[in-house]
């Protein structure tokens, strides 16, 4: 028997993309700006976020956060110390957040009472890049301890970023971090991307970071 060919021509993430598009509308209707933070594990997402939430709250902002990890709610506990609503998403082994997980964890949450929602993604530079979460903008982190050529090794995620935050800049000299090389490599995968150097430890660069958030930069 000769098989017949059935044309499908469908994106394998179509369901996620549709759900993300619906979430995006929901966020817009609620007037909440959503930032998807992506990086490898240990880049400093949680500390950056801890400090960011505290600063925003002190400035009269109404931020909230969703944080994804494979296991434990340790990060949610840390972030909750900033005195803002935080929810933990435990993926139990799944290496990325997807739009469905976001939707389920928004249950019963009054989005309109917040102006900024941060989604701290699972620490992973590969799988996270394919999943739209309905965010307004995607921010990738790169720490000075990781090596300047990381963007070349993981081009997909840095290409999809609307801004790149360089973290742990207080350690730049110790790590012999080459700023120019890092910038050149980032521009190789995402020409002209906005770069913000920060240290969540010393507070360096936080004015720039907060000013960036204040602009409400929309995704490409």
Q: What's the rounded Cα separation, in Å, for the pair 48 and 130?
A: 23
CB of 171 to other proteins, least distance (A): 26
- Return the number of the residue (103 or 115) whose C-beta is nearest other proteins: 103
- Return the number of the residue (101 or 141) whose C-beta is nearest other proteins: 101
Which residues contribute to the site for other proteins (CB under 8 A)? Answer: 1, 3-15, 94-96, 98, 126-127, 129-131, 151-152, 154-157, 159, 187-193, 220
- Return the number of the residue (38 or 56) whose C-beta is nearest other proteins: 38
Spatial contact of 84 and 34, defined as CB atoms under 8 Å apart? no
Half-sphere exposure of 215 (CA within 13 A, CB side): 13
- Return the number of the residue (76 or 157) whose C-beta is nearest other proteins: 157
H/E element, 213: helix 206-214
Q: What's the rounded Cα separation, in Å, for the pair 169 and 218?
A: 26
According to DSSP, the β-strands at 33-38 and 116-120 are parallel
Q: How many residues does the chain have?
A: 220
CB of 7 to other proteins, least distance (A): 5
CB of 210 to other proteins, least distance (A): 25
CB of 93 to other proteins, least distance (A): 10
């Amino acid at each position: 028997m000769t098989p017949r060919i059935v044309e499908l021509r469908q994106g394998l993430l179509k369901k996620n993309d549709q759900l993300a598009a619906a979430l995006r509308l929901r966020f817009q209707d609620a007037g909440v700006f959503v930032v998807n933070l992506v990086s490898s594990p240990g880049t400093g997402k949680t500390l950056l976020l801890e400090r960011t939430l505290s600063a925003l709250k002190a400035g009269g902002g109404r931020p909230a956060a969703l944080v994804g990890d494979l296991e434990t709610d340790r990060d949610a506990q840390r972030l909750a110390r900033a005195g803002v609503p935080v929810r933990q998403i435990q993926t139990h082994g799944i290496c990325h957040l997807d739009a469905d997980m976001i939707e389920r964890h928004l249950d019963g949450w009054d989005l309109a009472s917040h102006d900024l929602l941060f989604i701290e993604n699972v620490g992973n530079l590969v799988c996270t890049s394919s999943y739209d979460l309905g965010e307004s903008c995607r921010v990738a982190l790169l720490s000075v301890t990781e090596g300047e050529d990381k963007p070349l090794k993981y081009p997909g995620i840095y290409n999809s970023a609307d801004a790149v935050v360089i973290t742990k800049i207080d350690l730049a000299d110790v790590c012999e971090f080459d700023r120019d090389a890092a910038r050149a490599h980032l521009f190789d995968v995402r020409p002209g991307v906005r770069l913000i150097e920060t240290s969540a430890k010393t507070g360096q660069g936080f004015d720039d970071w907060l000013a960036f958030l204040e602009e409400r930069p929309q995704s490409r």
